[in-house]
Structures are given as C-alpha cells and as structure tokens.
Amino acid sequence: MEFTAQMIASFLHGEIEGDPDVKVNNVAKIEEAQPGTLAFLSNPKYNNYLYTTQASIVLINKDFVIEKEVKPTLIKVPNAYEAFASLLQLAQQGKTVKTGIENPVSVSETAQIGENVYIGAFAYIGDHVKIGKNVRIYPQVFIGNNVTIGDNSIIFPGVKIYEDCILGNECTIHAGSVIGADGFGFAPQSDNNYKKIPQIGNVVLEDFVEIGANATIDRATMGSTIIRKGVKLDNLTHVAHNVEVGENTVMAAQSGIAGSTKIGKNCMFGGQVGFASHITIADGVKAAAQSGIASSIKEENLIVMGAPAYKISDYQKAYIGFKRLPDMIKQIYALEKEIKELKSNQK
C-alpha cells in the first residue's frame, strides 16, 4: 500500500518541505533506505546520512538545522522518533488479525472466552480461565487453571502461564516466556539437604505490560509478584518471587531481580543489571548495563553504575584512576628503586 507525503504529514500533523505527492510503500533505516521508502532521523550520530540517503521521505525534528541540500522530501515533526513509532503502530494495525479457534486445541468447558478471540492450534486452556475480548493466543500456549487475561492482550507461541495468574488489558507476552513458575524457595535442613517451600501465591501483570521472549516471572511464595502498569521487560529477564516492579519501569535483556525486592516507578535499567533480594529502589532510578545493585537506593532519579553500583559520576571518576593504575604502579616501582638507591648512597 502506498502513501504520499501529504497523507503522512496529515496523520502526524507535520510540516512538509519538498514534494507533497512523493509516494512510499515501505520503511527503512536512513543509512540503508532506497527510493520508495520512508526513514527517520532523531539520533545526531546519523545526521550526515540525511544528505546521502536514498529515502523518498525522511521524518526529522522541527528544530533540526539543515546545513546543505537534501534530496528526500522532509516531514518536520516535534519528535521524529515518536512520529515514526506512530506510523509503525498504524501499519501494524492494518495487518490481518486472526479470529476463531483452530484445531486441535484443548479448551475447558468451564473457560470463559470473550468476543473476537483467536486461539491457535495445540493451545491448552485450563479450567475456569477467563479470556477477555480481542485476545490473541498463538499456537502451543499453555494457560493454567483460574488464569485471567484482559482485553486486547497477545500471548505469543510457546508461552506458559501457570494457574491463578492475572494479566491485565493490552498485555503482550512474547514467545517462550513463563509466567507464574515456582519461586526459588528452599529451606536448608540439618542434613544439608533442602526442603522445598510451597509457592502458593500468583503473578499479577497490570495493564499495558510487555514481557520479552524467554523471560520468567516467578509466582509469590504468598501473595503476589506484581508487575505494575506500563512496565516493559526485555528478553531473558528474570523476576523472582514477591518482587514488585513499579509503573512504566523498563528493563533491558538478561537483567534479574532477586526475591522480595521492590522497584519504583519510571526506572530504567540496562542489560544484565542484577538486584539483590529484599531491597527497595526509589522512583526514577537508572542503572547502567551490568550494574550490581546490592543495597537499597533511597534517592529518586539517581543514576548508578558498577558492581556494587554507586553514583555514576563517582564511578566515572574512580574509573579514571583505575585506567591509570598500570602507570601508577610503574611510578611506585621507580620511586621504590630511587629510595633504595638514596638510602644506599647515604650509607
């Protein structure tokens, strides 16, 4: 399907600079774009590509300063990245959405299925499950007894949702993720064996939560492991039992949160960030990739780095010293040698 620059600008409420009738039928990265595609520019690292790109249309920020002639038609918007995301969402909505129940599937007679639901082949829907309207459940999904799934949610292939878990509206769970497996609870015994502690709680995902592929969220020992509204967890993340993650917090791949830790809202964590158990993280905290957070962070909007993690400005100063260690060691050896020579001469 083709769109003109005028149509796109009208949808985005943007300002056109160039040919309003130029057409595109696909999107591309600005450095790889070909004629007939639309690209966007928001990262200053890619500014030079604006003058060499073959894209027919480029979205740019209104405040971008153009230094020389450009070939593509430009659409100026307040935020090019957000505008591009809006276009991708529009394209996604235009795709055909399946409905109905494929065969073979196993759907309990006690399950409640909403309108316009799609259930793919080899899916299993347990007893007393409640599935809202417009939900898409792809093949080979397991949904245990007493699970609730809100409206417009998407469960991709191979997801496992254990009994009693609750998913809100417009949640997305990507392939291979496990929601509600037992928390890691074992009591050490006098003979050095471990006795399993039954995990009788559940997992609650509030509205607009998205969980990446092959992520795991453990059920609570008692009560609930809670992922608040708007949280986004990347692939291969792990959330342990009785954790609470605050609203609109985002976490990159391979990060893990140990049991009973409370994460504030609007936090951002890079890849492979680890959290110790039973700590509290304030709202707005950011952690650089591979940070190890061993104790509570009480200051809101703090940026931390390192393992153990501490304030990023202090870490960067310390790292400068660390990089100089080889030279400093040489200087120390040289000084020791000089001191020995001086002592020897004095004798």
Q: How far is CA 239 from CA 153, 169, 177, 272, 305, in A?
A: 20, 20, 12, 13, 20
Residue 211, C-beta contacts closer than 8 angstroms, at least 6 positions apart: 171, 172, 173, 174, 177, 179, 205, 217, 227, 233, 237
Give yes or no: 241 in active site: yes
Q: Which helix (H) or strand (E) holds 3?
A: strand 3-4
3-class secondary structure, 83? helix
The active-site residue out of 174, 238, 241, 278 is 241
Strand partners, 314: none
Q: How many CA atoms lie within 13 A of 114 on its CB side?
A: 16
d(CA 219, CA 226): 9
Contact 84, 59 (CB under 8 A): yes
3-class secondary structure, 118? strand
Active site members:
241
